[in-house]
Amino acid sequence: MKLKIALLVMVAFMGGMAVQSVFSPSEPAESALLDSYNNQVFEMSSAVTVENPVFVYEQPDLTATQVDRLLWGDRVLWRGTEQQDGAGNRWIYVGLSEGVSGWMIGNAADVTSGRLAISNATYTTPGIALGANVVVTADGDGANFREGPSVGAERLRPLLEGEELTVIGGPYQNELYVWWRFSDADDAEGWVVDVDGWMTAQ
């Protein structure tokens, strides 16, 4: 009898560890730990159809106003916040590509079944946040300063190594990248994709 109980406890413990590992990014960016901004991307698989979509709500409640309906290929960025409802659903707070945030259900079963796929977006610069000043590094020399947060947005100019920028907007997730809006020394404003090593926060 004692052996059976010990085995059941061990199985329950291992099951809990497995569920936890499904949702934990392997190496979160330092800034994700500092400002609760997470870089984990949830992508809708082919199982997410018009007949069986994933809905995003204003609040973690199935009766709340719907913000969006996600289908195969849609991606959202997890904001690092989650909670569980009375029915046992795991709600995660996500950012949509349009810059809107909301709540969607992301249970362990959705991941293990392949309905939701998880990956990591480009890591954000450690210490970056609204109001922070950053300096462009040698790796960031020539990076695109764009009119909008998209690789298809107009390229305003290249960044130069050593120049200082101030964060005035973001973070914004689009095309599996994290973007920040900056103001330069001439008060010109533009967006830069956040790639590890391109900038250092002061």
Tell me, what's the pLDDT at 12? 41
CA-wise closest residue to 149 among 193, 100, 90, 83:
193
CA-wise closest residue to 180 among 163, 164, 166, 200:
166
Tokens representing residue 25 in the block: 């990014």
- The DSSP H or E segment spanning 13 is helix 2-23
Tell me, what's the pLDDT at 122? 64
Residues of the chain with CATH 2.30.30.40: 31-120, 133-201
pLDDT of 24 strictly over 70: no
Tokens representing residue 127 in the block: 């210490």
- For the whole model, what pTM was predicted? 0.54
What class does CATH assign to 31-120?
mainly beta
pLDDT in tens, 69-106: 999 988 888 877 899 999 999 999 998 866 688 999 99
Cross-strand partners of 142: none
pLDDT in tens, 145-187: 999 988 889 999 999 999 999 999 988 877 767 889 999 999 9
50, 122 Cβ separation under 8 angstroms: no
Tell me, what's the pLDDT at 21? 38
pLDDT of 119 strictly over 80: no
How many CB atoms are located within 10 Å of the residue 41 CB? 20
The CATH-assigned architecture of domain 133-201 is Roll (2.30)
